[in-house]
């Protein structure tokens, strides 16, 4: 989701005064922009310098002024290499008494980050590997130009107990909206199929680390059930989260509902109670919103973005229509292998794309699935009838799914892409007839 990606709107970062006094008084902290704000090429410039970590190791390190400086906020970053076997569940802890830590893990299909997951302003990421390879571990800190010692540990099995106590390095414990989505208090508020509810996002809701708020609702899901969740507001640019039980990866969406409204289409992998959380793209935004749960997506909304938002410009009809098909076609109830490369250029965020044509019986309801073991997939479907549909993780894990009816002209365009910039590799594209629910 993976994790889910959200960005701030002020030059990629938000500066906030931290209410923790020290000998130097208040300090400014750059709340971490997401991976999408940092160029992939910048990560590649951070050299490992022989630093290696094995599963079962707990090593001591030192973040120094000689380490790479991220220009976005002036913080230092240090890279380690961690060899991981295929299908291993691994926990990485970053602990320090001198730093308010921030941890990144990058690898095939894995782009994760954490601030305070280990407690006490220490960091933790648990992930499952997709292949036998080296993962990149990046040691970072919330504060600009701060150095000090730390301990880094990688292990399997039950994660260690959460650390308690005050933050190190003058920090303040915070939690991202993506991390908080699974635990945010929903009270006695429930969503149901065919129902639209109203809410208000404001300072009384859960405060996320990027300055935005999070308002939670409970939605019961049945195994195999497919639903569409829309978050709509005329007051702010929305951002939607869906968290669930078990190994369900938190899903996120910004603008798939059209006009800066959010939409998530999900097929529930197990029965249970899921959390739908309303938030905003911009920090500190507030106002009234509606959440609608339905069994079909319907057309996206049209119009201007509220609250100064800017709708995602990556997938306009004009851009999609310019992409060459080059003979790539797929039919209903067919699955095809492909390879995403740099042959057809990139979107404005640096992700490669490849267009396919789907031909089918008009009105037939289909599920379009995009899967890959090598990159976090992103799927786009377009027709003149229903416009542009996009999806990141509705296929489960880091795979994508769009459910839609074949338009009256019997033809639509499918675009294969990746969530992260610069990713390439093999994928499987499938189209299957589905019963409309």
pLDDT of 362 > 80? The answer is yes
- 346 in the same domain as 290: no
CATH number of the domain enclosing 214: 2.60.120.380
**Mean pLDDT, rounded, for 317-324:** 83
pLDDT band at residue 349, thresholds of 50, 70 and 90?
low
pLDDT of 21 > 80? The answer is no
- Structure confidence at residue 33 (pLDDT): 41
pLDDT of 34 > 50? The answer is no
pLDDT band at residue 3, thresholds of 50, 70 and 90?
very low
Overall number of domains in the chain:
3
Residue 3 lies in a domain: no
pLDDT of 180 > 90? The answer is no
More confident of the two residues 325 and 143:
325
pLDDT of 178 > 60? The answer is yes
More confident of the two residues 187 and 273:
273
User: Whole-angstrom Cα distance, residue 1 to residue 350?
Assistant: 18
- 163 in the same domain as 192: no
Strands (E), 108-188: 110-114, 123-128, 133-141, 148-155
- Structure confidence at residue 30 (pLDDT): 34
**Which residue range is the domain that position 213 belongs to?**
180-294
Strands (E), 34-160: 58-63, 68-69, 76-84, 89-95, 101-107, 110-114, 123-128, 133-141, 148-155
- 200 in the same domain as 170: no
pLDDT of 291 > 90? The answer is yes
More confident of the two residues 408 and 120:
408
**Mean pLDDT, rounded, for 130-135:** 87
Question: Rounded mean pLDDT of the chain?
Answer: 80
- 167 in the same domain as 30: yes
- 398 in the same domain as 343: yes
Percent share of the chain, pLDDT over 90: 35
pLDDT of 13 > 90? The answer is no
Among 113, 143, 174, residue at a domain's last position = 174
- Structure confidence at residue 436 (pLDDT): 65
Report the candidate in 409, 370, 362, 361 with the shortest Cα–Cα distance to residue 389: 370
- 210 in the same domain as 342: no
- Structure confidence at residue 6 (pLDDT): 35
- 265 in the same domain as 117: no
Residue 4 lies in a domain: no
Contact (Cβ atoms closer than 8 angstroms) between residue 153 and residue 93: yes
Question: Number of C-alpha atoms within 13 angstroms, CB side, residue 70?
Answer: 31
**Mean pLDDT, rounded, for 251-267:** 85
pLDDT band at residue 31, thresholds of 50, 70 and 90?
very low
- Structure confidence at residue 422 (pLDDT): 82
- Structure confidence at residue 310 (pLDDT): 57
More confident of the two residues 396 and 165:
396
pLDDT of 129 > 80? The answer is yes
- Structure confidence at residue 168 (pLDDT): 64
| One-character DSSP codes across 305-357 | PSTT-----TT-HHHHHTS--TT-EEETTEEEEEEE-STT-B-TTS-BEEEEE
- 101 in the same domain as 54: yes
- 134 in the same domain as 39: yes
Across 91-100, 160-169, 307-316, least confident range = 307-316
pLDDT tens digit sequence for 42-95: 677 788 778 999 999 999 999 999 999 887 678 899 999 999 998 888 999 999
């Amino acid at each position: 989701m993976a994790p889910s990606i959200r960005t701030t709107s002020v030059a990629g970062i938000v500066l906030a005064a931290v209410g923790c006094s020290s000998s130097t008084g208040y300090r400014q902290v750059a709340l971490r922009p997401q991976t999408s704000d940092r160029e992939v090429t910048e990560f590649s410039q951070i050299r490992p310098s022989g630093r290696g970590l094995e599963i079962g190791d707990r090593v001591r390190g030192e973040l120094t002024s000689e380490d790479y400086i991220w220009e976005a906020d002036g913080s230092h970053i240090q890279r380690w290499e961690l060899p991981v076997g295929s299908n291993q569940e691994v926990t990485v802890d970053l602990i320090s008494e001198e730093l308010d830590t921030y941890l990144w893990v990058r690898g095939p299909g894995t782009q994760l980050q954490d601030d305070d997951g280990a407690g006490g302003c220490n960091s933790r990421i648990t992930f499952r590997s997709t292949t036998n390879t080296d993962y990149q571990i990046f040691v970072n800190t919330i504060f600009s130009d701060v150095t000090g010692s730390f301990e880094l540990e990688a292990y399997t099995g039950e994660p260690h107990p959460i650390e308690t106590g005050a933050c190190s390095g003058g920090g303040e414990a915070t939690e991202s909206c993506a991390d908080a989505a699974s635990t945010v208090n929903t009270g006695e508020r429930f969503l149901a199929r065919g129902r639209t509810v109203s809410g208000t996002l404001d300072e009384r809701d859960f405060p996320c680390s990027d300055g935005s708020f999070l308002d939670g609702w409970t939605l019961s899901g049945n195994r195999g059930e497919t639903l569409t969740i829309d978050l709509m507001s005329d007051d702010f640019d929305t951002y939607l989260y869906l968290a669930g039980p078990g190994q369900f990866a938190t899903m996120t969406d910004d603008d798939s509902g059209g006009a800066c409204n959010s939409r998530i289409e999900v097929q529930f992998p197990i029965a249970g109670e899921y959390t739908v959380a309303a938030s905003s793209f911009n920090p500190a935004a507030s106002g009234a919103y509606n959440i609608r749960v339905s069994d079909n997506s319907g057309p996206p909304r049209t119009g201007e973005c509220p609250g100064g938002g800017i709708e995602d410009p990556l997938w306009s009809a004009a851009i999609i229509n310019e992409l060459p098909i080059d003979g790539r076609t797929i039919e209903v109830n067919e699955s095809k292998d492909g390879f995403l490369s740099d042959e057809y250029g990139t979107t404005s965020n640096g992700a490669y794309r490849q267009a396919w044509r789907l031909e089918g019986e008009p009105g037939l309801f289909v599920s379009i699935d995009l899967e890959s073991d090598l990159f976090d997939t992103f799927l786009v479907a377009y027709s003149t009838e229903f416009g542009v549909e996009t999806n990141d993780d509705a296929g489960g894990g880091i795979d994508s799914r769009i459910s839609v009816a074949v338009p009256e002209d019997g033809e639509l365009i499918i675009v294969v892409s990746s969530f992260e910039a610069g990713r390439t590799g093999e994928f499987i594209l499938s189209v299957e007839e589905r019963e409309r629910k």
